[in-house]
């Protein structure tokens, strides 16, 4: 097949170079445009060297236009047909338009062999291999294309999905709930502009709750609605992790607040407050505006106002124990209270990740 393609390319190359030459072009000018030597162009024309697919595409664009159309001329010459009688199918144009719309969202996909001459199959493979869902509907909102990724994610046979209507999904899949997606779809259809959706909750036909992000992209022909391309990414795992984190954060806060006589906060390695309890705030009457910034230095600058020796307090508060160590300091407050502050390094694999700080009111203990 590669040898046949080289022959087709060479026929088209010589044909269009002849036209290029008639318009005043030369091998030297063509070589400059291509960034190669004149002798290389001469060798290609004389078939003593073979051009790579990339070089073929660049030559096609310089001498004529799209690579596939360039090769079509070569095939006609090979078959003894008039090279000028080329009619590009409307279906090919529709597929090219589809791929142009998708190209912005296609990230990582395996490179398809450039020798593939069937344009429709070429594009179909690209769309089917990308790690995102692709759904395409017609002007009546009936699905006529869905890629493999999406079929696997929703666990529905292709034949059940093809022909079903996006707006009337409940009729085909009673367990499905895709209202949020339908709302974005209908808005895109109404205003004929792309609509992004982010982490929307859907119930797929199996009854499973999932979260999706993506785009609804109207297909237009002279501003007339022809259908929709829906690009879908899976965010389920991310949302589940966020929910788990929120739950764990809430449980941690409840646990910290349960220490009724101990002020408690946790700093990250950048010395920002990531957790604190209500007792810590109450001990020093810290305003919400100070707490909300989670800035440790601003917190201790507020607390220093309660200390008999504010300078010593600040000095010790900015010293943090190293790995495997803890620091214990006692301070007298202007209101007569005494506190003990215990700072412990939080580490993992010999790396400090932050600090745990507990503050105890030891006023009564000192009296005895």
Which pair of tokens denotes residue 68? Answer: 């596939």
Residues 6+ apart with CB under 8 A from 322: 345, 352
For the segment 312-323, the average pLDDT, to the nearest whole number, is 90
Q: pLDDT digits over 319-340, tens only?
A: 898 877 889 999 999 999 999 9
Q: pLDDT digits over 39-75, tens only?
A: 988 888 888 888 888 888 999 899 988 888 888 888 8
Residues 6+ apart with CB under 8 A from 277: 253, 256, 257, 259, 262, 263, 264, 265
Distance, in Å, from the CA atom of 262 to the CA atom of 286, rounded to the nearest integer, reads 15
For the segment 150-154, the average pLDDT, to the nearest whole number, is 86
For the chain, list the domains and their CATH numbers: 2-87 (1.10.260.40), 92-234 (3.30.450.20), 243-367 (3.30.450.20)
Categorize the per-residue pLDDT at 81 as very low, low, confident or very high, splitting at 50, 70 and 90.
Answer: confident
Q: Is 285 left (phi over 0), alpha (psi -120 to 50) or beta?
A: left
For the segment 221-235, the average pLDDT, to the nearest whole number, is 91
- Name the strands in the sheet holding 209-221, side by side, starting at the edge strand that comes first in the sequence: 143-146, 133-137, 224-234, 209-221, 195-203
Categorize the per-residue pLDDT at 180 as very low, low, confident or very high, splitting at 50, 70 and 90.
Answer: very high
Query: Which of 8, 33, 30 is CA-nearest to residue 20?
Result: 30
């Amino acid at each position: 097949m590669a040898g046949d393609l080289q022959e087709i390319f060479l026929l088209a190359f010589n044909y269009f170079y002849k036209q290029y030459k008639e318009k005043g072009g030369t091998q030297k000018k063509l070589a400059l445009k291509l960034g190669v030597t004149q002798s290389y162009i001469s060798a290609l024309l004389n078939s003593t060297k073979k051009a790579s697919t990339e070089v073929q595409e660049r030559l096609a664009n310089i001498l004529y236009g799209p690579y596939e159309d360039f090769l079509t001329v070569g095939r006609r010459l090979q078959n003894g047909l008039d090279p000028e009688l080329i009619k590009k199918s409307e279906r090919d144009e529709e597929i090219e338009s589809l791929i142009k719309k998708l190209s912005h969202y296609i990230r990582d996909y395996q490179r398809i062999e450039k020798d593939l001459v069937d344009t429709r199959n070429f594009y179909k493979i690209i769309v089917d291999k990308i790690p995102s869902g692709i759904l395409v509907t017609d002007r009546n909102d009936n699905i006529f294309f869905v890629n493999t990724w999406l079929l696997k994610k929703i666990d529905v046979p292709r034949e059940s999905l093809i022909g079903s209507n996006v707006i009337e999904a409940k009729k085909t899949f009673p367990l499905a709930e895709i209202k949020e997606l339908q709302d974005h779809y209908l808005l895109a259809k109404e205003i004929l502009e792309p609509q992004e959706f982010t982490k929307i909750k859907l119930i797929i036909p199996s009854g499973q709750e999932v979260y999706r992000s993506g785009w609804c992209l109207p297909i237009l022909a002279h501003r007339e609605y022809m259908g929709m391309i829906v690009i879908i990414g899976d965010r389920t795992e991310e949302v589940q992790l966020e929910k788990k984190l929120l739950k764990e954060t809430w449980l941690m806060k409840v646990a910290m607040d349960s220490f009724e006589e101990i002020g408690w906060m946790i700093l990250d390695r950048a010395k920002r407050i990531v957790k604190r309890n209500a007792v810590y705030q109450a001990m020093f009457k810290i305003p919400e505006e100070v707490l909300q910034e989670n800035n440790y230095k601003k917190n201790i600058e507020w607390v220093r106002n309660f200390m008999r020796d504010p300078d010593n307090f600040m000095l010790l508060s900015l010293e943090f124990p190293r790995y495997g160590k803890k620091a214990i300091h006692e301070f007298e407050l202007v209101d007569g209270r005494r506190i003990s502050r215990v700072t412990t390094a939080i580490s993992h694999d010999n790396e400090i990740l932050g600090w745990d700080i507990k503050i105890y009111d030891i006023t009564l203990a000192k009296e005895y």
